[in-house]
Amino acid sequence: MIDIKFLRENPDIVKENIKKKFQDEKLPLVDEVIELDKKSRAAKQEADDLRASRNKISKEIGALFAQGKKEEAEAKKKEVTANAERLAALEEDETRLQEKITSIMMKIPNIIDASVPIGKDDTENVEIQKYGEPAVPDFEVPYHADILNAINGLDKDAAGRTSGNGFYYLIGDAARLHSAMISYARDFMIDKGFTYCIPPFMIRSDVVTGVMSFAEMEAMMYKIEGEDLYLIGTSEHSMIGKFKGELVKEEALPITMTSYSPCFRKEVGSHGIEERGVYRVHQFEKQEMVVLCKPEDSMEWYDKMWSYTVEFFRSLDIPVRTLECCSGDLADLKVKSCDVEAWSPRQKKYFEVGSCSTLGDAQARRLGIRTKGEKGTYYVHTLNNTVLATPRALIAFLENNVQADGSIKVPEALRMYMGGKEIIKPEK
């Protein structure tokens, strides 16, 4: 959510930003907010004047009674009563107008960074750089579900009976490999100086609307029936929510955290849920990184964060590339975002395994996360980035480490989490 003062003073910039995001249907919201803001400020000013008048008249009443001027005092009391009725109506108007303003402001997208390429959707995202050689072996790389089935590591049929489509069982070495990658991601980020955290896996609606847009919430989140609770779609939600309403000490910034959680997503949309594989599922696990920092440091942290993900995947012998997300592909709260994509030797193309975003002060403004320094009190900036989301990252690992005989090479970085195992052999 952008600053109402900025919108009030720069409506043309806000409108141009909406156009860059190809959301022209939201253009009327700017003028609507400006008009409501005028009414709200007028109501507030009149209310403030009435409060000042009430205090002044109250003193006058006391003086009149002291002078024995009872009739004049009673007349003043009637004036106070009339003013009180008007004040109550104005306060009601203020509340109603502010609620409406907030509701509309939450629909107006954040101001994107000047460096963001302009484009309608993810097909217009721009490749930044490749890391590692995207090789294709001289044998046909199996579909990841077949690699897993060869080591007796996947059971989607049983998951379909217990939970429905979009769920899975990982078994034996496949489950162990999955956990090894998560454990390695955790330790990798701890070694980078991030504080490890396991957050709540359910959050209240006021936190959900603080960290994401209404449209995202509807498409992603599972609501707990009869409770004001939602299952998290990523641990970033809980981690940012941890600081809701807080005045963070400026000397504590930056706050750098890495968090583990299971994640739950509806995956509503045309892409659908995979029948055989585990690329798009309703439940997965994730190691995330979250940073709260001063505004002037956010872009520096943005570059650090996505580079950590690149480094992590390269340590597992997985070639990756980074893509700059275009304006139309940015969620409304994001200022700038890039995707990290892993190489698929089977498909001979890259696919998304992580995303890094800076949201400016949008989440902090919604959740009331501030800090105080020499320049006064201000909202912090928040950033988030995927270290590892698996089983999607597991797919990238399997395709890039499977051998011609169906065995899976375990890179050195994971062996300590796999009991020293160097090769996972297929079942006879």
pLDDT at 227 over 50: yes
Q: Largest Cα–Cα distance of the chain, in whole Å? A: 108
Looking at the structure, tell me whether residues 95 and 168 fall in a common domain: no
317 contacts: CB under 8 Å, gap ≥ 6: 132, 400, 401, 411
d(CA 91, CA 50): 11
Distances (CA, A) of 19 to 9, 15, 104, 328: 18, 6, 17, 10
Distances (CA, A) of 94 to 4, 107, 136, 311: 15, 20, 64, 52
Kindly state the average pLDDT of the residues 259-283. Answer: 80
pLDDT for residue 79: 73
Tokens 């303003």, residue located: 101
Identity at 2, one-letter amino acid code:
I
Distances (CA, A) of 45 to 39, 41, 49, 53, 227: 10, 6, 6, 12, 39
Residue 140 lies in a domain: yes
Looking at the structure, tell me whether residues 90 and 130 fall in a common domain: no
Confidence bin at 220 (pLDDT 50/70/90): confident
d(CA 159, CA 143): 19
Confidence bin at 49 (pLDDT 50/70/90): confident
Q: 349-408, pLDDT tens digit by residue?
A: 999 999 999 999 999 999 999 999 888 999 999 999 999 999 999 999 999 999 999 999
Looking at the structure, tell me whether residues 211 and 133 fall in a common domain: yes
Three-state DSSP at 93 gives: helix
Q: The whole model's pTM is what?
A: 0.89
d(CA 282, CA 292): 29
Three-state DSSP at 117 gives: coil
Residue 43 lies in a domain: yes
More confident call, 224 vs 53? 224
Question: What's the gap between Cα 192 and its chain centre?
Answer: 22
Q: 11-35, pLDDT tens digit by residue?
A: 999 999 999 999 999 999 999 999 9
CATH value at residue 358: 3.30.930.10
| Cβ atoms of residues 145 and 276 within 8 Å | yes
Looking at the structure, tell me whether residues 133 and 99 fall in a common domain: no
Residue 235 lies in a domain: yes
Q: 246-256, pLDDT tens digit by residue?
A: 999 999 999 99
Residue 110 lies in a domain: no
Kindly state the average pLDDT of the residues 223-244. Answer: 94
Tokens 């139309």, residue located: 328
pLDDT at 274 over 50: yes
Residue 36 lies in a domain: yes
Query: Domain of 373?
Result: 122-424
Kindly state the average pLDDT of the residues 231-238. Answer: 93
Looking at the structure, tell me whether residues 50 and 130 fall in a common domain: no
Tokens 């409060």, residue located: 51
Looking at the structure, tell me whether residues 169 and 135 fall in a common domain: yes
pLDDT at 268 over 80: no
Kindly state the average pLDDT of the residues 3-12. Answer: 95
| Domain boundary pick from 105, 139, 174 | 105
344 contacts: CB under 8 Å, gap ≥ 6: 350, 351, 395, 396, 399
Looking at the structure, tell me whether residues 126 and 97 fall in a common domain: no
Looking at the structure, tell me whether residues 390 and 245 fall in a common domain: yes
The kind and range of the H/E element at 240 are helix 235-241
Which of 59-63, 163-167, 292-296 has the largest mean confidence?
Answer: 292-296
Q: 141-198, pLDDT tens digit by residue?
A: 999 999 999 999 999 999 999 999 989 999 999 999 999 999 999 999 999 999 999 9
d(CA 330, CA 184): 30
Looking at the structure, tell me whether residues 277 and 398 fall in a common domain: yes
Q: 329-349, pLDDT tens digit by residue?
A: 999 999 999 999 999 999 999
Residue 134 lies in a domain: yes
Task: Provide the number of structural domains found in the chain.
Answer: 2
Looking at the structure, tell me whether residues 79 and 161 fall in a common domain: no
pLDDT for residue 50: 84
pLDDT at 218 over 90: no
What phi and psi, each to the nearest 5 degrees, are found at residue 270? -75, -20
Looking at the structure, tell me whether residues 132 and 71 fall in a common domain: no
In SS3 terms, 348-391 reads as CEEEEEEEEEECCCHHHHHHCCEEEECCEEEECEEEEEEEEEEC
Give the least confident one: 83-92, 111-120, 145-154.
Answer: 83-92
Looking at the structure, tell me whether residues 101 and 127 fall in a common domain: no
Residue 113 lies in a domain: no
pLDDT at 60 over 80: no
Confidence bin at 288 (pLDDT 50/70/90): very high
The token pair at 235 is 């641990």
Confidence bin at 269 (pLDDT 50/70/90): low
Residue 114 lies in a domain: no
pLDDT for residue 356: 98
- Strand 336-344 and strand 320-324: pairing? antiparallel
Give the percent of the chain with pLDDT over 70. 97
CATH value at residue 99: 1.10.287.40
pLDDT for residue 270: 44
Q: Which among 318, 311, 256, 316 is positioned nearest to 288, based on CA atoms?
A: 256
The kind and range of the H/E element at 259 are strand 255-264
pLDDT for residue 88: 87
42 contacts: CB under 8 Å, gap ≥ 6: none
Confidence bin at 67 (pLDDT 50/70/90): confident
